[in-house]
Amino acid sequence: MAPTALSCKECKSRYPLDARYVCEACFGPLEVAYEAAVWDVQTLKRKIQAGPPGIWRYADFLPFTGRPRDPLEPGMTPLVRADRLAERLGLGELWVKNDAANPTHSFKDRVVAVAIAKAQELGFETVACASTGNLANAVAAHAAAAGLASYVFVPADLEEQKLLATGIYGTNLVGVRGNYDDVNRLCTELCEERPWAFVNVNLRPYYAEGSKTLAYETVEQLGWTLPDRVVVPIASGSLFTKIARGFNEWLELGLVSGELPAFNGAQAQGCSPVATAYAEGWEVCKPQKPDTIAKSLAIGNPADGPYALELARSSGGAIDSVTDDEIKAGIRLLAETTGIFTETAGGVTVATLAKLAERGAIDRSERVVAYITGEGLKTLDAARDSFHMHEIEPSIEALDAELAASAASS
């Protein structure tokens, strides 16, 4: 698939493959358009499988004419068969795609790797981003590895773990007194004033393409087959819609057969513009002021919200929201049944999965994939309430007494 142009998702106007993100004719968002070549399916599968063990094995489906050099190549993260979690929820076949196993421990490594490679191709020397945390980590790390200067803009009240894991790479870390939408507005203004590549502003059409690799990997790891249903967290809506695009591209090329899975979106109740629009039957999302522990999903005015709504409805899925208490319970449930410690966004995904199972929305015959997008060590405060340690003197008698007292009180 050769990249040919940037195309408006609304009016289909076409533009050169440069640094731009909005249509001049209708102000719609831009995405990369490709021209598909004719390939023998088996030859193409062998070509993919002979590639490197990360996202660049899919370079033929990304916006480059060759394979970029990438010292931190992310991707090919574990797809874990979650039988104990499935049993707990009353489900049949359940898989967890653990994207915390990337270089900076979130799926953002995928989108940043693509954006940084495009920034270098276009001649930028400085990269930047507006972030709720995970993107900040990824931009700082990948810029350092590529030898590029970087500026990272975040809400000033971000989790300390994410701030520390960003500043360590030597980036220019800027805390903005406001929420993510305030940060994003500032970066949109700066994009017009500074000769910088903002990965999720003027490079957004390329950046978003990195999320497709989650779909490609899922297909490969399931033996070149599709799941019946996926559960994906929604912030801007880009991850949700690009996973679908990845599945559709391979369906159109004949690399996989079947139908697009049902897409279930997951949001935190304290910032749920897409879930609210879905529940109310709206076509667009009304902006909300975020108030949730799931800060990585706290985007009150999601750019791809309308497209996420359309996808959920057309695929037979839905978009749900869960409370902060349910998010914490989801983090604990995933850890206790799979050994995977996720951040709050993953707690949103698991809590939504549990809600779907409880209301009977998932048939036991379905193969389900839940996407975990970040590492639990980034949001430790969300797990503090569930922490307990038995403290004893160094003797067997003290241990027995403590365990007996604990059992009696529980």
pLDDT above 90 (res 126): yes
Edge to edge, the sheet with strand 14-15 lists 14-15, 2-8, 30-35
pLDDT at 61: 96
pLDDT above 80 (res 5): yes
pLDDT at 410: 72
Spatial distance between the Cα atoms of 137 and 141, rounded to a whole number of angstroms? 6
Within a 13 Å sphere around the CA of 249, how many CA atoms are in the beta-carbon half?
26
Mean pLDDT of 115-127: 97
Mean residue pLDDT across the chain: 95
Element (H, E) at 229: strand 229-233
In order of 7, 160, 263, 322, the CA distances from 276 in angstroms are 29, 30, 16, 11
What is the tens place of the pLDDT at every residue in 138-173? Answer: 999 999 999 999 999 999 998 888 899 999 999 999
Spatial distance between the Cα atoms of 135 and 129, rounded to a whole number of angstroms? 8
Spatial distance between the Cα atoms of 275 and 277, rounded to a whole number of angstroms? 5
Spatial distance between the Cα atoms of 331 and 375, rounded to a whole number of angstroms? 11
What is the tens place of the pLDDT at every residue in 20-38? Answer: 999 999 999 999 999 988 8
Mean pLDDT of 2-12: 96
- CA gyration radius for the chain? 21
Total-model pTM: 0.94
Count of Cβ atoms closer than 10 Å to residue 52 Cβ: 14
Spatial distance between the Cα atoms of 42 and 48, rounded to a whole number of angstroms? 10
What is the tens place of the pLDDT at every residue in 101-112? Answer: 999 999 999 999
**How many helices and strands (H and E) does the chain possess?**
14, 13
pLDDT at 36: 83
Q: Provide the percentage of residues in the chain whose pLDDT is more than 70.
A: 100
End-to-end CA distance of the chain: 59
pLDDT at 310: 98
Judged by average pLDDT, the poorest of 233-237, 299-303, 379-383 is 379-383
b/e per residue, 171-183, with b = 16+ CB within 10 A? bebbebeebbbeb
Mean pLDDT of 209-213: 98
pLDDT at 387: 78
Spatial distance between the Cα atoms of 244 and 247, rounded to a whole number of angstroms? 5
What is the tens place of the pLDDT at every residue in 281-334? Answer: 999 999 999 999 999 999 999 999 999 999 999 999 999 999 999 999 999 999
Do the strands 149-155 and 126-130 form a parallel or antiparallel pair, or are they unpaired?
parallel
pLDDT above 90 (res 81): yes
Using pLDDT thresholds of 50, 70 and 90, give the confidence band for residue 383: confident
Residue whose C-alpha is closest to residue 143's, from 176, 161, 170? 170
pLDDT above 80 (res 386): no
pLDDT at 385: 81
What is the tens place of the pLDDT at every residue in 321-372? Answer: 999 999 999 999 999 999 999 999 999 999 999 999 999 999 999 999 999 9
pLDDT at 156: 93
Decide if 300 contacts 290 (C-beta within 8 A): yes
Decide if 290 contacts 344 (C-beta within 8 A): no
Spatial distance between the Cα atoms of 191 and 239, rounded to a whole number of angstroms? 23
Name the region of 258 (left: φ>0; alpha: ψ -120 to 50; beta: rest): left
Do the strands 93-98 and 79-81 form a parallel or antiparallel pair, or are they unpaired?
antiparallel
Do the strands 318-322 and 367-372 form a parallel or antiparallel pair, or are they unpaired?
unpaired
AA identity, residue 60: D
Q: What angle do CA 16, 117, 45 make, to 5 degrees?
A: 90
